Every structure is written in C-alpha cells, then in structure tokens.
Amino acid sequence: MNHLSRVSLLVAVLALSACGFHLRQSAALPASMQHVHLSVNGGGELQRDLARALEDSGVTLQDEGGPGVAELKVPVAAFDTETLSVSGGARVTEYAVRYQVRFEVDDSNGQALVPEQRIDMSRDFSYDATNTIGTEAQVDEIRRSLNDDMVQAILFRLQAAGRRQTAEPAATSSAG
C-alpha cells in the first residue's frame, strides 16, 4: 500500500470517527437474559432481526418460556404512513413513515426487568407522483432502516437495564 493510500485511509477513518460513526456491535445484556424467549406480534422482520441481534450478543433463544428463561415480549410493532404536505393542486408532496413498537422484558426469575415501553420513530420523504415505483422502493427502504434502528434502540434499553441491575446491588451493599 503506497503512502497516499495510507494517508487517504487514515483521513477517512478519522472523518468517520469524528462524525460519530461506529460499527454496530453486540450488546452487553444483563446476566438474567442468557436464555430468552422472544415473541413479536406478527413476527416478520423485527422478530428475525431482533433474534439475530440477541444471538450476536451471546443470548440463547428458547422456543418456549419457563423457569430460567427471560421473556422479551413485543405486543405492538406497527408501521403507519401519514401525509405531511399537499401541493396547491391537492396532490400529496410529502409523507412520513412512522414505526411504533411497545415491548417489555421479564428476567429469568419472572421479575420485570424492563417495564412496558413505547418507542416511536419516523422518517419523512418527498412523494413523486411521476415515479410511483421509486416511491414504493423508497418506502420499503425507509421501513428497513427504521426496523434496523428499532432493533438497536431496544438493545440499548436492554443494556441500560443491565447496567441499572448491576448498579443496584452495588449501591445496596455499600449503603449497608
């Protein structure tokens, strides 16, 4: 690799790290989530991607719940499209794709690790009436992107619950 290539690579890496870019990595989940039964209403991409992310984080997924198995329940995972703006000719010019997920986690002892939470995400896009196929592809891509972001948001909340869970015993033992 010549000197110019090395310098270019270094500049690219520094630029990406300066803007906050980082590769997605596995999450450090609570110890009580070593074995998880995952149930997502409607299954689909969220179930598949969340299962993959959990497994990448060292979780063993179980087909059934039971003693020693944490329960990650997602009763609501719904996309919606909303009109944001209309042109003078009464044509839609801008939409928003919204994604709402509610989830909760009970740890392997049946205690609420994460009480039911709701996460809402949305992306706006311009509608082109002359290119409806492109618009459908754009909506599909937005949904995939929102789904990826939702998986990460759920994992971040699970990580936070794990940190809180390990901090509580330490605070209790130092107080006593």
Q: What pLDDT, in 10s, does the model give residues 50-65?
A: 999 999 999 999 999 9
Higher pLDDT pick, 90 / 61? 61
Whether residue 23 has pLDDT greater than 50: no
Q: In this structure, what token pair is assigned to residue 61?
A: 């997924």
Q: Please report, rounded to a whole number, the percentage of residues in the chain having pLDDT higher than 70.
A: 82
Residues 70, 107: contact at Cβ < 8 Å?
Answer: yes
25-47 average pLDDT score: 88
Q: Which CATH architecture has domain 23-164?
A: 2-Layer Sandwich (3.30)
Model pTM score: 0.77
Domain ranges of the chain: 23-164
